[in-house]
A and B are shown apart, each in its own frame.
Chain A
Amino acid sequence: AQSVTQPDIHITVSEGASLELRCNYSYGATPYLFWYVQSPGQGLQLLLKYFSGDTLVQGIKGFEAEFKRSQSSFNLRKPSVHWSDAAEYFCAGAVYGKLTFGQGTILTVHP
């Protein structure tokens, strides 16, 4: 069965520190991969997506993600976190338009 796993339920970082959120996928073939962000009480906003080609993809708000086929991973990174980045982050894989989401990682940013 297709699955996406985010091993970290909750991560806390200090403002200005670097960030890496982990995501692993299990599919028969490489799916389309996405990272979404959700602020409290809000809908989901697409941060970035990977379809093929360059394995390092750039997104909005200074985020980037690296696709590693050998590790079945698609980790999200940001070099310097801002307080406004505090939110819940979801990794997702898609085949034929159907997204499978990870459980989400809640990011807390300390001043």
Chain B
Amino acid sequence: DAEITQSPRHKITETGRQVTLACHQTWNHNNMFWYRQDLGHGLRLIHYSYGVQDTNKGEVSDGYSVSRSNTEDLPLTLESAASSQTSVYFCASSATGSGANVLTFGAGSRLTVL
């Protein structure tokens, strides 16, 4: 079965370290998204990609970067982790055309920055 996998599921890091969260999907979806979830804010869009070599900033992109070198993967990098980036991160993907707005979500990655 097709799936979307996030790793690691839990990570603790220190302020200033670089952190990369992986997202891998086997749906063959062109569209991929990264959201963060914080209490009282719901989910907020960090970055998104509509295809290989395409990346776009979302609502809360400062301090984050992504790259899309193939269809399956959209890793999220925190260049210098800050305590404000402690959150749960969700990756999602969707097809193009009529299915573009129906997202499939990963299980989430909980990041703690000390």
Residues of A within 8 A of B (CB): 6, 9, 32, 34, 42-44, 46, 49, 51, 90, 92, 94-104
Contacts and interface: CB of A to CB of B under 8 A. Distances in A.
Interface in B49-94: 50, 58, 90, 92, 94
A34 B41 CA distance: 17
A32 B102 CA distance: 9
Nearest to A4: B42
Contacts, number: 56
Given A43-B107, A44-B90, A98-B48, A90 B101 contact: no
A101 B108 contact: no
What are the 9 tightest A-B residue pairs by CB atom distance, in nearest-first order? A101-B42, A94-B101, A97-B100, A32-B101, A101-B43, A44-B105, A43-B107, A103-B42, A43-B105
Contacts of A100: 45
B45 A99 contact: yes
Nearest to A97: B100
Interface size class of B (residues with CB under 8 A): 20 to 34
Given A90-B43, A97-B31, 18 more contacts: A34-B101, A42-B108, A43-B90, A43-B108, A44-B105, A49-B102, A94-B101, A94-B103, A95-B101, A96-B100, A97-B48, A97-B101, A98-B33, A98-B48, A99-B45, A99-B101, A99-B103, A101-B35
Given A43-B106, A97-B31, A98-B58, A104 B42 contact: yes
Given A43-B106, A46-B102, A101 B44 contact: yes
A42 B40 contact: no
Contacts of A96: 100-101
Contacts of A6: 42
